[in-house]
Homo-oligomer: A and B are copies of this chain.
Amino acid sequence: MSIIVLGTVALDSVKTPFGRRKELLGGSAAHFSMAARFFTGVNLIAIVGNDFPQKHIAFLRSKGLNLSSLIVDKGKTFRWEGEYRGDLNSALTLNTQLGVLSVFKPHISEEQRKIENIFLANVDPDIQEHLLAKMHSPKLVGLDSMNYWINTKRKELIKLLKHIDIYVANDQEARTLSGETNLIKAARCLCSLGPRMVLIKKGEHGVLFYNKKFIFSLPAYPVEKVIDPTGAGDTFAGGFMGYLTCARKVNSLTIKKALAYGTVAASFNVEDFGLYRTSKLTRGDLERRLTKFKDCFSF
């Protein structure tokens, strides 16, 4: 089993109370992959510019990712610059340079078109739709978006949601798109737009999972030293979708395990800048923290 992840590979510059880093390897697809790779083969669908450091390509390849559909185009790599203050729960975007992302048209191999598990990480809904249309037999499709697209491409996003199995949103996005304040109501409303499952990420407050049969709520794994939360949501999605892909079936038990793996993977992500911590992660690290996490609830 393998998974397709469409998203960004970016150069992130970030400032948090713990320091500042420039042009770190980042992006939704990169963060997703760092967690998903423990469970399944990952096919990364993204674009970078010809200024993208070769060492980053080598690094991604060394992590076992299939980069055959990573486009290196003439132009600049997508860059994001942000800052976190106070409780580090939300980023202040200081600068965004789309670069080659503005002309991104994903193309994938015939072999990749047969892959059944797909995650459409946060990019323009038109690009997400473009990729999804290429897939031969999508079976489990997850989608993440952001307030920018909810506000500027609402119609396209809502149309796309009809073909999505799992909509992954943070609490603000869920509220914006649904118009509901209560997150359970928001999740139900979002389900009525198409997805049979809705996963609401609440940052340091954990996640809420909703489908018509059950609702699960999990806290975040308690992390004392949050250094940089950039990519935590994508890392969560990577652990979640990766595990479901590997489990080959979606039921209440596999969903709970997937939520827990996602939570634990995200908890590592925030412990250092960029991909520093998750790139060094081992399956053993994941399993040990999962056991500690489970222990919180065994009574």
Contacts and interface: CB of A to CB of B under 8 A. Distances in A.
Interface of A: 86-87, 181-182, 184-185, 202, 205-206, 208, 215-226, 253, 256-257, 260, 294, 296-299
Contacts of A182: 87, 224-226
A179 to B, nearest CB: 13
A141 to B, nearest CB: 23
B296 A217 contact: yes
Contacts of A294: 297, 299
Contacts of A296: 216-218, 256, 297
A8 B11 CA distance: 56
B299 A256 contact: yes
Given A205-B219, A294-B297, 14 more contacts: A87-B181, A87-B182, A182-B224, A184-B222, A184-B224, A205-B205, A205-B206, A208-B222, A215-B222, A217-B219, A217-B296, A294-B299, A296-B297, A297-B298
Most chain B CB within a 10 A radius of its CB, from A219, A225, A226, A299:
A299
Nearest to A85: B181
A296 B260 CA distance: 11
Nearest to A184: B224
A24 to B, nearest CB: 22
A274 B224 CA distance: 36
A94 to B, nearest CB: 21
Nearest to A258: B299
A58 B195 CA distance: 51
A205 B202 CA distance: 9
17 contacts: A86-B181, A87-B182, A182-B224, A182-B225, A184-B222, A184-B224, A206-B217, A208-B222, A216-B296, A217-B220, A217-B221, A217-B296, A218-B219, A253-B299, A294-B297, A294-B299, A297-B298
Most chain B CB within a 10 A radius of its CB, from A205, A217, A257, A294:
A217
Contacts of A256: 296-299
Given A181-B87, A205-B205, A299 B257 contact: yes
Contacts of A202: 205
A230 B274 CA distance: 41
A111 to B, nearest CB: 33
A295 to B, nearest CB: 8
A212 to B, nearest CB: 13
Nearest to A220: B217
Contacts of A181: 86-87
Contacts of A86: 181
Contacts of A218: 219, 296-297
B260 A299 contact: yes
Contacts of A221: 217
A221 B218 CA distance: 10
